[in-house]
A and B are shown apart, each in its own frame.
Chain A
Amino acid sequence: MWSFTQLTHWIDTSLHSCMSADWALFVEFVLIGVAVLAAYALIALFLIYAERKICGFFQCRLGPNRVGKWGIFQSVADMIKILLKELVHINRSDKVLFRAASFFVIIGSVCTFGALPFAKGLQAIDFNVGVFYLMAVSSLGVVGILLAGWSSNSKYTMIGALRSGAQLISYEISAGLSLMTIVVYCGSMQLSEIVAQQADGWFIFRSVPAVIAFVVYLIAGHAETNRGPFDMPEAESELTAGYHTEYSGIQFGFFYLAEYLNMFIIAAIATTMFLGGWQPLHVPGWEGFNRVMDYIPSVIWFFGKTFVCIFLALWVRWSFPRLRIDQLLGLEWKVLMPISLVNLMLMSVVVIW
Chain B
Amino acid sequence: MEEISKLVIFYLLAAAIVVSSILAVTSHRIFRAAVYLLIVLLCTAGLYLLLNYHFLAVVQLSVYAGGILILFIFAILLTSAKGDRTEPHDRRRVVAGIISAVAGLGITTWATLKHQFLYGNNPTVLGEHETNMRLVGQTMMGSGKYEYLLSFETLSILLLVCAIGGILIARKR
Contacts and interface: CB of A to CB of B under 8 A. Distances in A.
B81 to A, nearest CB: 11
B55 interface: yes
Contacts of B5: 22, 25-26
Interface in B70-122: 70, 73-74, 77, 82-83
Contacts of B77: 146, 150, 158, 161-162
Given A21-B2, A150-B77, A97 B54 contact: no
Contacts of A162: 74, 77
B73 A143 contact: yes
Most buried by B among A26, A133, A172: A133
Interface in B28-53: 29, 31-32, 35, 38
Contacts of A169: 70
B69 A136 contact: no
B151 interface: no
A299 interface: no
Interface residues of A, number: 35
A183 to B, nearest CB: 10
Nearest to B45: A136
B54 A94 contact: no
Nearest to A146: B73
Contacts, number: 85
Given A25-B2, A146-B73, A129 B31 contact: no
A136 B61 contact: yes
Contact of A129 (B32, B55, B82): B55
Interface string A144-188: 001100110100001001100100010010000000000000001
A70 interface: no
Query: Which applies to chain A's interface (DSSP): helix, strand, loop or mixed?
Result: helix
A135 interface: yes
B31 A94 contact: yes
Contacts of A146: 70, 73-74, 77
B35 A140 contact: no
Interface in B1-39: 1-2, 4-5, 29, 31-32, 35, 38
A127 interface: yes
Contact of A94 (B29, B59, B61, B66): B29
A162 B74 CA distance: 8
Contacts of B62: 132, 135-136, 139
A25 B1 contact: yes
Contacts of A22: 2, 4-5
Interface of B: 1-2, 4-5, 29, 31-32, 35, 38, 54-55, 58-59, 61-62, 65-67, 69-70, 73-74, 77, 82-83, 130, 132-134
> Which are the 7 A-B pairs with shortest beta-carbon distances?
A139-B66, A136-B62, A136-B61, A22-B4, A22-B2, A21-B2, A136-B58
18 contacts: A22-B2, A25-B1, A96-B32, A97-B35, A127-B58, A128-B54, A129-B54, A129-B55, A129-B58, A133-B61, A139-B66, A139-B67, A140-B65, A140-B66, A143-B38, A143-B65, A146-B77, A153-B82
